[in-house]
Structure 1
Amino acid sequence: MLRELATVSFYADDLAAAGRWYTELLGVEPYYSVPGYLEFRVGESEDELGIIDARYRRTPAPATPPDTPVYWDVDDLAATVARLLELGATAHEPLTERGDGEGFATASVVDPFGNVLGVMTNPHHRAMRAARVSRTAR
């Protein structure tokens, strides 16, 4: 069945501006670029974030951002949300603690291109990353 995240795709009316914005946010240039599409590799597992020129959208853009964000694990949730807002994103879901103080928390923003970008802290993901690093260091 589902095994792992492959690619998350966002749309942008101004692909060049979206490429610049995400390059600034992520600190890396897209690793793949063809007319109408950019793709970034994110994090240690190199998950893919694709940006598609909105001309290729198969259905009309929704009137409001969807309430089904993909959440990216981050080290410092409050600092990440602050940085996203500083770069021009708008608040979508405020920082919300989940799981009775176990270290799970989420937030989301709408990027300047109308896409919902979710961010979270997740101790389960940190444990999995630590185990991967431990296995590869042997």
Structure 2
Amino acid sequence: MLRGLTTVSFWVDDLAAAKDWYAELLGVEPYFERPGYAEFRLGDYQHELGLIDRSYAPAGSGTAPGGAVVYWHVDDAGAALERLLSLGAKEYEPLMERGPGFVTASVVDPFGNVLGVMYNQHYLDVLEARR
């Protein structure tokens, strides 16, 4: 039934500022934009990160960080955490080794969204097997 991650959506109060912040973090500009929405493609599988004006959020949506944490694979979780913090994100969960080959951390971006980073050996194994 579930075939893969297509888009991770973050609600933001200031779309222009969020686009600039994520463009700086990711080193790319959004590949798709329309009023109230900007989308980046990133990573080995070109997954999508969408920034959506909070006015489009479903009724009753919370504004505080919480809920599910989506972890994006990174080659160095410690360096990724340092970079995020240097750009103004706030630590949500510190760098933690979860077992051999699995290291995680998460931050709250300047727009109130939780962004997880993870060194995940399994991700690399799957990527290598597909080559």
Q: TM-score, normalised to structure 1's length? A: 0.91
Query: In structure 1, the residue corresponding to 2:23 is in which secondary structure?
Result: helix
Shift of the alpha carbon at 1:44? 1.5
Q: 2:45 matched to which residue of 1? A: 45
Letter paired with 1:83? R
Unmatched 5+ stretches in structure 1: none
Q: TM-score, normalised to structure 2's length? A: 0.95
Which range is displaced more, 70-79 or 60-69?
Answer: 60-69
Percent identity at matched positions? 60
Contact 2:63/2:112, CA 8 A, preserved across alignment? no
Shift of the alpha carbon at 1:64? 2.9
Unmatched 5+ stretches in structure 2: none
Q: Which is higher, the Rg of structure 1 or of structure 2? A: 1
Q: 1:61 to 1:86 in 2, by over 3 A?
A: farther
Letter paired with 2:118? M
How many residue pairs get aligned? The number is 131
Shift of the alpha carbon at 1:3? 1.2
Q: 2:114 matched to which residue of 1? A: 116
Using the alignment, how far apart are the partners of 1:63 and 1:22 within structure 2? 19
Query: In structure 2, the residue corresponding to 1:59 is in which secondary structure?
Result: coil
Runs of 4+ residues deviating >4 angstroms: none
CA RMSD of aligned residues (A): 1.1
Contact 2:69/2:116, CA 8 A, preserved across alignment? yes
